[in-house]
Amino acid sequence: MNISQIVRKLAEFLDRKDSTREILVQNARDIIRHSKDALKHMYLGNMSESRAVLEKMRKLCAELKSLVKEYPDLLYGGLMVNALTEYIEAEIVYSILTRGIDIPAPEDLDVDPVPYVLGLADALSELRRFILEYLRRGDVESAEKLLNCMEEIFLEISTLQYPEGLLPGFRRKCDIIRRLIDETKSDIIFVKTRRK
């Protein structure tokens, strides 16, 4: 095979890969947008609407995985991992709000461990917003239940001590969650003492 044939084959491969990447980028953006919508519905108490958005996200994630079969390296680019992390975060927050600590495992969501761990950490940070809303409404009991759930999950995931290359951003997320848990405890104590 001469060099022009080699380059032509390379260009054909890269053209196909680039077309796939463009579709992945759009799907990833849609997943991230839907994640915000799902969480918004949860804040408003519209759990059935949130579930419908999560189902759309699940389908988009399945499309992502099927699209990358020929080019698996594309799945681990920054935007793709971010999209999967957002999806996992929304699924876990929904699960905690509807079922408590009984959260889906990575295989239940058909996702890889790394975005799952990152999404789980993000979900814990997101729970603080729900806790603050409960406190605003005077529902200290629900706030404490969520805080207990947040702490229990955090104690488990904080044992995952791996290098930045394996779990990018995870240590920083854990530091933030630890601070949020402490702040949330203070908020709950403040509300309880104010009520007396």
> What is the reported pLDDT for 22?
92
* Lookup result for tokens 């084959």: 9
> What is the reported pLDDT for 139?
95
- What is 112-196's CATH topology? Methane Monooxygenase Hydroxylase; Chain G, domain 1 (1.20.58)
68 has a pLDDT exceeding 90: no
111 has a pLDDT exceeding 70: yes
Fold agreement (1-100, 112-196)? yes
- What is 1-100's CATH topology? Methane Monooxygenase Hydroxylase; Chain G, domain 1 (1.20.58)
Mean pLDDT for the chain? 93
Q: For the chain, what are the domain ranges?
A: 1-100, 112-196
Cα gap 110→90, rounded to integer Å: 14
> What is the reported pLDDT for 133?
94
The pLDDT tens digits of the residues spanning 121-162 come to: 999 999 999 999 999 999 999 999 999 999 999 999 999 999
> What is the reported pLDDT for 80?
87
Q: Count CB neighbours of 91 within 10 A.
A: 25
Query: Which carries the bigger pLDDT value, residue 72 or residue 16?
Result: 16
Structure confidence at residue 179 as a pLDDT band (50, 70, 90): very high
What predicted TM-score, i.e. pTM, was given to this entire model?
0.90
Going by C-alpha positions, the residue among 119, 172, 118, 128 that lies closest to residue 151 is: 128
Cα gap 183→186, rounded to integer Å: 5
Helix (H, G, I), strand (E, B) or coil at 14: helix
The pLDDT tens digits of the residues spanning 7-55 come to: 999 999 999 999 999 999 999 999 999 999 999 999 999 999 999 999 9
Structure confidence at residue 59 as a pLDDT band (50, 70, 90): very high
> What is the reported pLDDT for 196?
67
